[in-house]
Structure formats: structure tokens, C-alpha cells
Amino acid sequence: IRAEPLIEAVGLSAGYHGNPIINDIDLAVHAGEMVGLFGANGAGKTTTLLTLAGEISPLGGSVSLLGAPHPKSLFKAARQGLALLTDDRAVFPALTARDNLRLGQGTVGRAIEIFPELEEHLDRVTGLLSGGQQQMLSLGRILAAKPKVILADELSLGLAPLVVKRLLLALRAAADDGAAVLLVEQHVPLALAHADRACVLARGRIALEAPAAELREHPERVSDLYLSGS
């Protein structure tokens, strides 16, 4: 028997100003799972994550978090162990790396276990770190708090492939530790290399859901859906 999903959407529709952008989405992520959410620009990936996070209210359907109805606010969901990660880094550039880590819910030591390469930069001003180092700092701070549900939106925007791989491996490790990870990522092959399963959105609907292993063998099944338009 499979464990209950940590986050689940059933028949979910959502959008802006009452106009649906995503329609009738069924999506569940279980403890220990990392799921990639893909699709062309405008397909509705960010809207899906924001709705699962509680930032956008559903127009239809429902979201459950940890087996209970979603508290319908990101603030409350975060207190239950949900983390929403965006590409904006969310670090304080004028503070040192160490002070940025201290602002998190986890310990500095735990963040350094996740990204040991940050240790030598702990006393540097964060704004002087590279984009990749800042994103590792931001992710390390969040993962150190051991969130149960992680929704990650294009963390790797503008970062070098080697850094992207480090971020993906850290998310993979969090899933292996029991978190449910849902990941929007432009680098589809790289994400498929580490994910368990993938969903592809096209025009606000789930057009394909398959094990990542299957899509690694047939990447054209994903790319064809990007060409079908958003």
C-alpha cells in the first residue's frame, strides 16, 4: 500500500481575476518522491505551484496538504512544513552568508552539510557571492529546516549546469529523506535524470504523466508537448 500523498490536487482549476489558467489538474506527490512539472512558457506551471502553495485560491477542485484540507494561505501552509522556492534567491545581500543562514528555521551546520562548498564563504557578504552560491545559500537555508513539501519553481534560472545539478541533487536528497518534491525546471533532461515521475502541462491541463525513467528513454514525448503550444 502506498503512503498518503503529502500534497494532492484533485480536479484543480485556478487562474487570475476569475479566469482559469489551469483546468482539472489531478496531481499527487508522495513522501520520498520527486516529481518534475514541465511545459512550454505560459502552460500554467507557476500558477499550479502557487495554487498548491496557497498563494492563489482555487476556482474549482481542491488541494490537500499532509492529508488534510489545505489551510489556504502560504503562511499557514509554511508552518505545516511547506516550502515554496522561487528563482528570486530570497537572500539579504547586505548580510553575511552565515547571518542569512541564521535567519532560517534550520541550523547553519545543517545547511553546510547540504552545501559544504558554502563553508568557506560563510563570513562573506552575500551580495558578493556568485548567483549559484546565493541560490545554494537560499536553498540550503530552506532545506536545513527539513520541509515536508517542497515546491520549487525554476531555481536554476540563469545558473551554470554544474550548479543546477548541485541544486537538483540537494532536492533529490531531501526527497530521499522523506520530503515530497515538486519541481518546475527548464533543464528537462537534467531534471528527468533525478526525478521519479514527470507531469507535462499543455494549455493548463496535464497532457502527459509518466515515470521519469520512461521519459529518459523517450524525451521526444515531452518535447512534442512543448511544440503543441501553451
Strand order in the sheet with 68-69: 19-30, 5-16, 60-65, 68-69
- The span from the CA of 153 to the CA of 131, in Å, is 16
Which of residues 6 and 43 has its CB atom nearest to ligand ATP in the complex?
A: 43
Report residue 102 as a C-alpha cell: 541564521
CB of 167 to ligand ATP, least distance (A): 17
Residue among 81 and 204 whose Cβ is closer to ligand ATP:
204
Nearer to ligand ATP by C-beta: 7 or 144? 7
Spatial distance between the Cα atoms of 187 and 196, rounded to a whole number of angstroms: 15
114-132 core/surface letters (b: 16 or more CB in 10 A; e: else)? bbeebeebbeeebeebeeb
Residues 6+ apart with CB under 8 A from 109: none
CB of 118 to ligand ATP, least distance (A): 28
Nearest distance, CB of residue 139 and ligand ATP, angstroms: 19
CB of 16 to ligand ATP, least distance (A): 3
Do residues 151 and 65 touch, judged by C-beta distance below 8 A? Answer: no
What's the maximum distance between 2 C-alpha atoms anywhere in the chain?
49
Question: With respect to ligand ATP, which residue has the nearer C-beta, 4 or 88?
Answer: 88
Provide the minimum distance between the beta carbon of 199 and ligand ATP in the complex, in angstroms, as a whole number. 12
Nearest to ligand ATP of 185, 196 (CB atom): 185
Take residue 15 and report the three cell numbers written for it. Answer: 487562474
Which residues of this protein are in contact with ligand ATP, per CB under 6 A?
16, 21, 39, 41-47
